[in-house]
DNA sequence: CTTATCAGTCTCCTAAAGAGACTTTATGGT
DNA sequence: ACCATAAAGTCTCTTTAGGAGACTGATAAG
């Protein structure tokens, strides 16, 4: 059996993970974010196998998260972020914040300085509307009209099971 | 060969992914966040295999992200979030924001309402110090004194390679 | 004209994931 | 007491994914 794919789940987390949730994928993107754009550079920096790196770059390009940019003459490409890829930045930032606190016990190996205010910062998640910090318990999730009817029914049923 | 583990990388992203980056792990946590705390509930809701669910729950408990809470008499347990687990909320929220926009084209299957301001919200990442929105290009990352000397050297060398 | 480098393929082998049968412990009904 | 049901795992079998490293083809450098 193939590994279960999440693409028929009516859930943005599942959809996102179906694309960037494979082993190595977010680490590759981290490197591209930092400025490591080439096959050999990624190989050296990550210690990933050639086969898997090839495969991941292919799917990231196919998904429109990375784009190939030619360099030198001939068919050599660098891998650069598209807008879709760049907007995965917040995911990486929240992973950093969690790892800094819970794995490195607030002694992070890398310090982030915010250029605008010139202070050492830790990314924080806030409500887009009122600007206050939010976490899960501050939010209520409800199926929207964009979720198919049958999925809405299942969602409600599961919710009831949990609370009973 | 075992799958490469990331735990000797001096990077919070790698450390975080080494714990929660396996297939299924973040989806399981999503379900627990929503209130699905039991083995059978997770099985039904996710369509995961028993073996993998058992394995993931084990490592999440071992890592202190979930804790077992007895229910009924006898050795039956629910799985609940610890503080360490709860603080993975921001990671899930940024994945939701990305999936809502880039997979569902701004027609998200689930709408999040912020209890405090009673508005439909989309999580946003800001600087902890000045409160302004941040993304990767607004930040400078530099090795801190907590990164071992040799790792700092490698980091600087890779940086130079990228810019040359 | 040889050597080196980069970006991939290709092959071989091990580990992880999926399907589903089986086990253990506890409860519910008659 | 007896049988059926259910929850929460285990176990086995098979397929797929990942790791190590040799090999290829195209360009550049000496």
Residues of A in contact with B162 (CB under 8 A): 34-37, 41
Spatial contact of A102 and A93, defined as CB atoms under 8 Å apart: no
List the single protein residue with the shortest CA to C1' distance from D16. A2
Spatial contact of A125 and B94, defined as CB atoms under 8 Å apart: yes
The pLDDT, as a whole number, for residue A105 is 98
Which CATH number applies to B12-86? 1.10.10.10
Residue B106 CB burial class (10 angstroms; 0-12, 13-18, ≥19): exposed
* pTM for this entry: 0.96
Determine the residue of chain B that is closest to A87 in CA distance.
B98
Please, which residues bridge with residue B77 across strands? Answer: B70
Output the CA–CA distances (angstroms, integers) from residue B17 to B11, B23, B91, in the order listed.
Answer: 10, 11, 11
Q: Is A128 on the interface with B (CB under 8 A)?
A: yes
Tokens of B129: 């110090």
The interface predicted TM-score of the complex, written ipTM, equals 0.95
Q: Is A37 on the interface with B (CB under 8 A)?
A: yes
Question: Rounded CA gap, B157 and B151, in Å?
Answer: 10
Q: What is the CA radius of gyration of chain B?
A: 19
Per-residue pLDDT of A18-67, as tens digits, reads: 999 999 999 999 999 999 999 999 999 999 999 999 999 999 999 999 99
CB-to-strand D under 7 Å, chain B 57-76:
57, 76
Domain boundaries, chain A: 12-86, 93-164
Q: Which nucleotide is nearest to A52 (CA to C1')?
A: D18
């Amino acid at each position: 059996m193939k590994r279960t794919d999440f693409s028929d789940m009516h859930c943005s987390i599942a959809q996102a993970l179906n694309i960037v949730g494979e082993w190595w994928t977010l680490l590759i993107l981290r490197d591209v974010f930092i400025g490591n754009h080439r096959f050999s550079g990624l190989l050296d920096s990550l210690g990933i196998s050639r086969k898997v790196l090839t495969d991941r770059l292919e799917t990231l390009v196919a998904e429109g998260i990375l784009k190939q940019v030619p360099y030198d003459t001939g068919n050599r490409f660098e891998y650069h972020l598209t807008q879709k890829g760049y907007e995965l930045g917040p995911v990486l930032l929240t992973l950093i914040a969690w790892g800094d606190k819970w794995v490195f016990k607030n002694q992070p190996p890398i310090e982030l300085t915010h250029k605008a205010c010139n202070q050492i910062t830790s990314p924080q998640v806030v409500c887009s509307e009122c600007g206050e910090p939010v976490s899960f318990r501050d939010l209520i999730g409800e199926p929207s009209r964009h979720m198919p009817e049958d999925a809405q029914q299942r969602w409600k049923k599961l919710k009831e099971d949990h609370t009973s």
